[in-house]
Structure 1
Amino acid sequence: MTERLPDFIDPLGLVKKQADMRGTAAVAQMPRLVEAVMEPVGEVEIELHFRREGRVPTIEGRVSADLTLQCQCCLGPLAWRVDSPVKLGVVATLEEANLLPETHEPLLIGDDPQVRLLDIVEDELLLALPIIPQHSRCGAHAEPESLEEPGRKNPFGVLAALKKV
């Protein structure tokens, strides 16, 4: 296991060595993730194992981080823990990607064996984020705030009374 993570890796070379990697990286080093979070602070914990499953070179492990997202209801900060499993099949072509087991996501490397490690980590984190982040109290069951002024009659009050009948 290594503590200092390399910038670029050769996934197939690491699979041949059956390498293990463990370390951390700053959230601020991942530009697409920085755009998705409210505060780009903290670190991502990375643990990856490079193995072969049958004929498929794989990368398995976990990425985890404590992120601050923006609630899309109240626009306030939302603490979000990501602890996502990683299970990638390393492929060179789209045809190989189509042959992967359903349990694996493809990592398309093409002709260049070098891949930026943080791109893999960033992809996994982005996939683990909710589509619409929101607090549980801001969900669909939360009572909407009244926009009425106190003492002013609601013009639709009669309709509300009919609805209760």
Structure 2
Amino acid sequence: MPVRLIIDALDFARNAGAHHGKIALSELDRLQGYLTSGSGELQYAITGALDINARPLLKIAVQGSINLCCQRCLGEYGYALDLRAYLLLAQNENELSRLDEDESVECVLATPDMDVVALIEDEIILSLPLSPRHGESECSIKQDSKDTAGERSLFAALAALKSLH
């Protein structure tokens, strides 16, 4: 089991804590369902700070390359991950509810035992495209809607089947 980085989120933010490193994709269990390959690693940095209103926040940056499944051809799709997230830290459930009403900010509940890797994994999953796919010219599926010489279109084949019954 890999060692997890656990922080006291409020203390980390108030003291301008900083940590950076690499995470093997194989350590991100929940992300595996989105990937075609679990090999490789991502670079990350997490920094604590106070915003202009003196509210504690965490800055998260993640870079690397992951392989997703193209939803057009079902082939491997290399996705360059360059994530930047700013998360306000709520000190309790009431503050979290109040901050969640403002859709312009992202907020999480600060805990004294916050798992940084799990937080990073959450942010990666939230940043993934809903329908990852290659560009049309890059996909392995040929999208030819015209009849070519000697070939019948799919609609002509369906019409022929229909006339048999």
RMSD of aligned C-alpha atoms? Answer: 2.9
Task: Give TM-score, length-normalised by structure 1.
Answer: 0.76
| Cα distance in 1 between the residues matched to 2:152 and 2:85 | 57
Q: CA deviation at 1:117?
A: 0.9
Task: Give 4+ residue runs of structure 1 displaced > 2 Å after superposition.
Answer: 92-95, 97-104, 142-157
Deviations 1:49-108 (A, max 9, x none): 101223421001311220000101111110001101110011143431244365431112
| Cα distance in 1 between the residues matched to 2:78 and 2:153 | 38
Question: Does the residue aligned with 1:136 lie in a helix, a strand or coil?
Answer: coil
Conservation of the 8 A alpha-carbon contact between 1:27 and 1:44: yes
| Cα distance in 1 between the residues matched to 2:144 and 2:153 | 14
| Cα distance in 1 between the residues matched to 2:88 and 2:67 | 30
Conservation of the 8 A alpha-carbon contact between 2:60 and 2:120: no
Compared with structure 1, are the counterparts of its residues 153 and 13 closer, same or farther at alpha carbon in structure 2 (3 Å cutoff)? Answer: closer
User: Which ranges in structure 1 are unaligned for 5 or more consecutive residues?
Assistant: 158-165
Name the structure 2 match of 1:136.
135
Name the structure 2 match of 1:13.
11
Deviations 1:21-52 (A, max 9, x none): 11111111111111111111111111111012
Name the structure 2 match of 1:75.
74
Deviations 1:119-143 (A, max 9, x none): 111011111111011001269xx96
Question: Does the residue aligned with 2:50 lie in a helix, a strand or coil?
Answer: strand
Q: CA deviation at 1:151?
A: 3.6
Name the structure 1 match of 2:108.
107
Task: Give TM-score, length-normalised by structure 2.
Answer: 0.76
Compared with structure 1, are the counterparts of its residues 125 and 156 closer, same or farther at alpha carbon in structure 2 (3 Å cutoff)? Answer: closer
| Paired residues for 1:91-106 under 5 Å | 91-100=90-99, 102-106=103-107
Name the structure 1 match of 2:118.
119
Question: Does the residue aligned with 2:39 lie in a helix, a strand or coil?
Answer: coil
Question: Does the residue aligned with 1:46 lie in a helix, a strand or coil?
Answer: strand
Question: Does the residue aligned with 2:129 lie in a helix, a strand or coil?
Answer: coil
Question: Does the residue aligned with 2:33 lie in a helix, a strand or coil?
Answer: helix
Which residue identity lines up with residue 35 of structure 1 in the other structure? Answer: G
Aligned length: 149
Which residue identity lines up with residue 113 of structure 1 in the other structure? Answer: P
Name the structure 1 match of 2:161.
none
